[in-house]
Chain A
């Protein structure tokens, strides 16, 4: 039987003593804990920051005297985690111990028509990649190589690709995640929300969650602060068609009809504007376009919204008044994964406007102004100017996209179309595209057409199955990485350093890109032998040093700017008008609604249900589905079905069903049913990230189903290109149809 014994055995020993700084003691198998004497022994702890999601909590990794990794604990001084990691962070040891990890470079070979991977040396693998990259660049220009990235490794690959001469750099964290929110916020406040969100939940009196399911979405200090807010008696209002965990902690749960949030937001504004509950001084001083807004909202009464959202007018009024009474210590949370229905920038705009009316932006208990430590880049030559970039793949669409849109770069890789195939090679790192990008068929078409696909990953995830060359990165626990400079209430730096040596032949991304760069003749861009030189140089520029950071892990710096707006202080917003644009001039310029409007979205056809999805607190997307510690807690996702629906279909708990969507696509694997009142009768719900189809993932292969597979019809946001993913409808199949879809 598999046990965690090997690496945990000593943790039971090390940890207590480690924290006490007293040393390890021996715990014999089966011995009475009482009888265990504390003896001294050597243990060590190393600073790190977590890479199990993108919140980047700083922590300590504990290692025993034999150099074995024991466990991870949060760093008490770090505001991202306050000494407590989330379950995924605690289970991060499993990222290192996963025996399915990639440990050697792989090159795709073909023998007798059979394709497979063969192990290769780094020298050979990188040599092949460099040759191919040069070949493509020679024919089509360096711009025709694109980078898909997410997470720490993206930093180095971005540097490499820019040095190579391409600016075609995209990440799923934009068009599949928070893009619409950033576009909406920029159009309103002139600045994006950023990560971590500068929501002052700790001190709020009213927290409004629109979909945002904090508590399942485990972004650490937000969860912690929501708990503090509950202790402080703050009111939580949750708008969610599903009874989320957050909804269960709320004073008001508004079980909205899916896809109708804009109507509710407009009705809230209506109440706040027409009952004159808004922050008059704030609105007058800082905003632009109030009169147009007021005029615009005239008919958008709670009664109007009731017909659309099914939320009772009285509840709309009460919650609006509650928000206003707590303002400015009210947060209407901007959410994070907001690519829902294609009008997401407009919904985010509505949320931004609502916050502006409440005067919560820049106010205590609302949104603070985050600050980060500005660490200079390590000196290296100027990047060559690319002739074209991802902006050109937009082909005139999505004018307000402020970061690369994955899908347009994917499209630009498909020959035919009416567009010219301009992208010929992809570098992919830290993103599992087949499970993260909707419209898998299109993605596959693009990948098939590529001349080169290089994937850097830690695990044999789906994406590696499409690669020509697979480069194994070591996990975050085995490497140095760039400093964490994320903004917060106070500026902080956090160091990640290795606690253990890389497993097998895996290497850190900084090393991979440096070696690849050298092979490409770009050695000048990597003027260091070890990444520690870069870190030490950078740290010295800001008055610290690598040596200091290795000891303390996290360092706080003094703020240079105020945390909140001062009363009546003049403030220049980085918008066209220098004000908070309730009326968005930037949108007007491009012919979009300058004030948000509600538009109706398609409803599920008969016998179909809207596919809703979200997070489970113990997993991160697809990346943890094989983690031994976390699969032990939750090994598959289930399909939430309302009891009424279950009755119609005769479904039983734990019965396996396949899903078929509106386009006739069927899930590769079945999913077990969970009958629960927590979901509406017009929707089904599942946790994203399961249904892995690579056998190399021994624990997660075939466990649960993939929501991504069902999302074949994204609703694209015309403003910034976000792929709305909640407009797909599924029905149940009790048997897998014969002509199975390719796995």
Chain B
């Protein structure tokens, strides 16, 4: 038997017995960021492809969710900071090696962009809308005239945002659970899938719903594929990764992960969507909600569990 103990010092709040520095706001922030990235990605993609008419929800309606999601996300990030009133320090420097840094910058750029984007559709979607000020009206006209340009900027930023929410965790070598190249793509795909689910939920357009159901099923399949590979990688990895995997294979995260995330959040909605394609009557809200909850649970679990894994020495 090897016995390893800390005989003095430690027992530091949030560090011992295991790291617990990030609480629910960080995974929520990652979730909201991923969701917004997904929505904005599809909005700009289909704008660039010239499908505004066919896909009104994806391009117009859903994009109203993004600024709120982003602002709420930023707020969550803020409340998880321990030295909050030094927040502005983030924006005195750009540190390329720090995902936290460029993520903060991307958010700073994409949030107003998403607002502008949505603002451009206000009077089209709400006929009674009146900008009152002439200057705002002229700005609206400018937006409407430059949608393609904005879409190009937004697709770029939304991809960066999506990748950022993915690699924020996987950039931390120190936590064996996060220390895998698959985590970034997995979070990116999951973000896109939550975005697609939101669109699906909001859409009243039959063709649009069919398209996003298909997209969603594809994304979920990719996710499931990644998850299987993630664990295969862990199981073939060094002791610390085996230990990480054990948290999910019999350990304390087994039920929440396989039950809540994989079954309820991925497999079940995918099944419902397949059935829907087969002509079953399934309320769109159901699979969408499951996907959203699953996406949130996934991030909370990955953050919690990741903080529990560490190098052994």
Contact = CB atoms under 8 A, between A and B. Distances in A.
Interface of A: 618, 633-634, 643, 674-677
B8 A634 contact: yes
A618 B90 CA distance: 43
Contacts of A677: 1, 3
Contacts of B8: 618, 633-634
A633 B9 contact: yes
A643 B5 CA distance: 15
A635 to B, nearest CB: 9
Interface string B1-17: 10101011100000000
A643 B2 CA distance: 11
Given A675-B3, A677-B3, 9 more contacts: A618-B8, A633-B8, A633-B9, A634-B7, A634-B8, A643-B1, A674-B5, A676-B3, A677-B1
5 contacts: A618-B8, A634-B7, A634-B8, A677-B1, A677-B3
B126 to A, nearest CB: 49
Contacts of A634: 7-8
Interface of B: 1, 3, 5, 7-9
B84 to A, nearest CB: 14
A346 B7 CA distance: 36
A675 B1 CA distance: 10
Contacts of A633: 8-9
Contacts of A674: 5
A263 to B, nearest CB: 30
A318 to B, nearest CB: 28
A516 to B, nearest CB: 41
Q: Most chain-A CB neighbours within 10 Å: which of B1, B5, B8? A: B8
A675 B2 CA distance: 11
A634 B9 CA distance: 8
Nearest to A676: B3
A123 B3 CA distance: 57
Contacts of B5: 674
Nearest to B83: A30
Nearest to A630: B8
A677 B3 CA distance: 8
Nearest to B8: A633
B12 to A, nearest CB: 11
A511 to B, nearest CB: 37
B8 to A, nearest CB: 5
Contacts of A675: 3
A618 B7 CA distance: 10
Which 6 A-B pairs rank lowest in CB-CB distance, beginning with the nearest? A633-B8, A676-B3, A643-B1, A677-B1, A634-B8, A618-B8
Contacts of A676: 3
A676 B9 CA distance: 20
B92 to A, nearest CB: 15
A238 B58 CA distance: 78
A634 B8 CA distance: 6
Contacts of B9: 633
Nearest to A674: B5
Nearest to B9: A633
A39 B44 CA distance: 60
A634 B11 CA distance: 11
A676 B2 CA distance: 9
A633 B11 CA distance: 10
Nearest to A633: B8
A365 B241 CA distance: 52
A633 B7 CA distance: 8
A230 to B, nearest CB: 20
B1 to A, nearest CB: 6
Nearest to B7: A634
Contacts of B7: 634
Nearest to A618: B8
A176 to B, nearest CB: 27
A63 B8 CA distance: 27
A674 B3 CA distance: 10
Nearest to B13: A1
A629 to B, nearest CB: 12
